[in-house]
Amino acid sequence: MNAIIDINYNLQSLMDVLGLIQGISFGILLLLLNYRHFRNTYLLGIFLVLYSLKLMVFIPAGLNIDQEHPELFLLPFDFSWLLFPIFFVYTQKISIFSDQKIKYWVLYPGIISFVLQAVIYFLPYDTKLEIAQSFWHEFLFTIMGICYSWVIGIWNLRLINQHRKEVENTFSDLENKVLGWARVFLIYLLTTSVLVHILFYVSPENY
């Protein structure tokens, strides 16, 4: 039984590592292709890099190396406050509402969250351990970050639906104009996020 658990454990870690490598590689490729001109795809590249880096929060514990390498403990890569807002800004910039004022302010909480995590990361290990075990750390960076991301995600879905209505009233050729892929991707992100966090709180020993 223990062997089976270890196999699943290692497979999960392997999948996380592969996801990290692939996501960062593709994200950096998008950044390099657009570095001379800050195109909308540049934001998508940033999103992919940060989405992949978030796996680094789980990989050290998954490989059971965070105790031997305390520098890997509490890496400031929990981007719960930032991922959905970045995709929201990206969606707005490629939508029919791109001529309106871009709501960059949705990024500010995520930037503040990253700065706070970076400050905590450079504290002594014992202090970090005490902070990580406190309620406020989970509440601030996990619970509130998740709730904020879901709110932004739902707002983004409304934006895409409004975009679709405007496009249907404006263009006869709707192919590649209604952002159908963005809507499907956003629904996937929201659904998996909700399911993963529900399963975590129902059965935390499996995560």
Domain boundaries, the chain: 1-70, 74-207
Q: What pLDDT digit, counting tens, does each position of 51-108 carry?
A: 999 988 888 777 777 777 788 889 999 999 999 999 999 999 988 888 889 999 999 9
Q: What pLDDT digit, counting tens, does each position of 129-158 carry?
A: 999 999 999 899 989 999 999 999 999 999
In angstroms, the Cα distances linking 195 to 19, 39, 191, 203 are 19, 33, 6, 12
| Cα 68 from Cα 73, distance rounded (Å) | 10
The pLDDT assigned to 37 comes to 64
**Could you tell me which residues come within 8 angstroms of residue 163 by beta carbon, excluding any fewer than 6 positions away?**
95, 96, 97, 178, 179
Q: What is the pTM of this model?
A: 0.82
**Could you tell me which residues come within 8 angstroms of residue 35 by beta carbon, excluding any fewer than 6 positions away?**
42
The pLDDT assigned to 154 comes to 95
